[in-house]
Amino acid sequence: MHNGVTWKNLGIFTACVGLFALWLGNAPAHDDAVFPMARGKAQVGECGSCHTTYAPGLLPARSWRKMLGQLGHHFGEDASVQEPVRLALLKDLEDMAADGAYADMRMHRIAASVPVDVTPLRITETAYFRFMHDAVPKSFWRRKSIANPGNCAACHPRANEGHFGVRELRIPSEQR
């Protein structure tokens, strides 16, 4: 009787198990909430002087377009830059946006959490941000050491490099 189990398809099965194990083994690193950052220094210099240098993948491209179209009135501040710099910043932000061409699963989730007819200017107003920070007690946000939810780097030490992995979290205490 021939039951279909041959050395050949046993070999294929073993190879599949091996590949699956390899994929699983890579999963934790992949899960580490890392966002791509612009390689040039422009974004860090121009957009990181007043607050965290926000990863472009935290908002959809239309948000960055709107924000960079009104830098003279940026949350009550004048954040305007020279036109060539603005265009370079905009290109980087759009290329790596949550709905950009190279977005990963996490960024797709962020983009999908924003209704199509809404253009948020705040990361902290997106449903994804609210969901991810649901467990943070309200009183934490008011700590002097944090001051405001947009101060990502207060709790995510490598936020300026686009790293938000949970293992790196440091919630600053009241005293600091």
Please report, as ranges, the residues that interact with ligand HEC according to CB under 6 A: 33, 46-47, 49-51, 54, 58, 67, 71, 74-75, 77, 79, 89, 122-124, 132-133, 135-136, 140, 146, 148-152, 154-156, 164-166, 169, 171
User: Alpha-carbon distance 7 to 107, whole Å?
Assistant: 43
Q: How far is the CB of 142 from ligand HEC (least distance, A)?
A: 10
Tell me the angle at which helices 83-95 and 61-68 cross, rounded to the nearest 10 degrees.
Answer: 170
Nearest to 121 by CA among 84, 172, 157, 79: 79
**Are 162 and 44 a contacting pair, CB within 8 Å?**
no
**Closer residue to ligand HEC, CB minimum distance, 54 or 96:** 54
**Closer residue to ligand HEC, CB minimum distance, 96 or 146:** 146
Q: How far is the CB of 2 from ligand HEC (least distance, A)?
A: 50
> Reduced to 3 states, what is the DSSP secondary structure of residue 80?
coil
Nearest to 123 by CA among 173, 73, 171, 53: 53
Q: How far is the CB of 30 from ligand HEC (least distance, A)?
A: 11
**Closer residue to ligand HEC, CB minimum distance, 6 or 73:** 73
Place of tokens 């709790």: 155
**Closer residue to ligand HEC, CB minimum distance, 19 or 169:** 169
